[in-house]
Amino acid sequence: MVCVCNATYCDTLDPVVLPAPGTYVRYESSKAGKRLERSEGSFQRSLHAPVTLTCPPADLVLTVDTAQRYQRVKGFGGSITDAAAINVFSLPEPAQDHLLRSYFSEEGLEYNLVRLPMASCDFSLHAYTYDDVPYDYELAHFSLRDEDTKLKIPLLHRASAMSTRPLSLCASPWTSPTWLKTSESYVGKGTLKGQAGDKYHKTWANYFVRFLDEYAKHNVTFWAVTAENEPTAGLINNYPFQCLGFTAEQQRDFIARDLGPALANSSHSHVQLIILDDNRLHLPRWAKVVLEDEEAARYVHGIGIHWYLDFIGPIQDTVVPTHELFPDYFILATEASIGAYFWERDVILGCWERGNQYSHSILMNLNNFVVGWTDWNLALDLEGGPNWVKNYVDSPVIVDASEGIFYKQPMFYHMGHFSKFIPEGSQRVGLVASKTTNLEYTAFLRPDGAVTVVVLNRSLQNVTFGLADNVGLIAAVAPANSIQTYLWRRWQ
């Protein structure tokens, strides 16, 4: 199931309009071929009378409970890597616009989060940083690259211009300049030289400020930075691409002595600082080490998690205790992609199951205090690249530059069931099932007072159910292999 877009055609959505009181709107995507297909219906008034629905009767009822209030949402989005930007710009300009509108405009998914690597990552054509002149502790030679000024920044400006929602940008470094590292290399096992508080650490902290300075000159401001992408990667022997190792203790001390003060004393003191930005199996220990230190904790706002290795770090043992210990710090999913494991195929065009994996992860995260979910590359080529170490993965949008077309995959539509209908500031509320079910679901109260419910059916059977709120009851069916989003106004 894909949509093929080119310079003259791409599927679009209408802007979301709240339905009249007493009615609801439903959007459905399915393995059978629906792509965010919109339909409307009316609530049945009676909640308590015998439920006479289409056979068989739905003894499963999901009831919205707004007395149960949980986290507020930051948002949903993806990442503008060098590779993603190269792929967008490889298309004819009208097709580029279709691609960006598909993600950012009211006729698309209305993404509001964008993650950006600080300099290069594996999804670059080569390894580089913003100051590759050795021992330039003053950062006199710090400068943005063509990848920024000709690719990523123009893309951000175009995305921002199309978006009705303000974009929140988050920047993450993969590696420091090699002359600051014990390995003297972009790749492989290596940490910053010396220890927190010294010239190596101060220079690296100032590099963040310079990055924010230079982007600001191009009219791009950031909501957040992460202290390091996957800090544990740089602790692994022969790690194959850009990394910079930190233990939790090293990250704590770097933030307390160098990065925290550098940001606080700059013109970017409003920028939020996110720790970890690595697999959740490091929780809750990583958060305890950093946030139980008062000096470090005062500079930190949130915790970033990646979805790799989730299968050996259950959310109940990692994210939940972290939220319970540190409820004032948000937890945000900052990276996910399929095809990264050696046993997976890189790109599988039209794969519904990969969309299921995205939605399953998003629902699991949202139902356990996570405030948003960020996909990895916004667009890749048919191979799953470019990637200078051939670490190819899949993406919701796959570009075939030779044909001037791109494919919107099931992952794309699955993302839209959340991003388009759960805007920033929405608050998760209770959704109580009358009996156990294989359906996966979540409910949110939006800032405009409407309710959004997302229901995922990964099973091979249709599931009949009721959806109840103070407005009444919706008689519903979740088709096999489908995802639905429901939206309605409540009685005030």
Q: Which residues are catalytic?
A: 230, 335
Which tokens go with 93?
């300009």
Give the torsion sign (CA, 170, 176, 182, 186): positive
Alpha helices (H) in 227-344, listed in sequence order: 248-254, 260-264, 285-291, 294-297, 315-325
Torsion of CA 206, 208, 210, 216, to 10 degrees: -150
DSSP string, 227-251: S-SSTTGGGSTT--S---B--HHHH
Run of H or E including 357: helix 352-366
Beta strands (DSSP E) in 167-286 are 168-173, 224-226, 272-279
Going through 297-354 in order, the beta strands assigned E by DSSP cover: 302-306, 330-335
Find residue 44's DSSP bridge partners.
473
> Residue 355: in which H helix or E strand, if any?
helix 352-366
Distance between CA 362 and CA 373 in Å, rounded?
A: 7
Give the C-alpha separation, 471 to 491, whole Å.
Answer: 6
Q: Which of 251, 169, 241, 245 is nearest to 205 (CA)?
A: 251
Q: 3-state DSSP: the chain helix, strand, coil percent, rounded to 5?
A: 25, 25, 45
- Amino acid identity of residue 328, one-letter, is D
| Contact status, residue 205 vs residue 258, Cβ threshold 8 Å | yes
d(Cα 161, Cα 175) in Å, to the nearest integer? 31
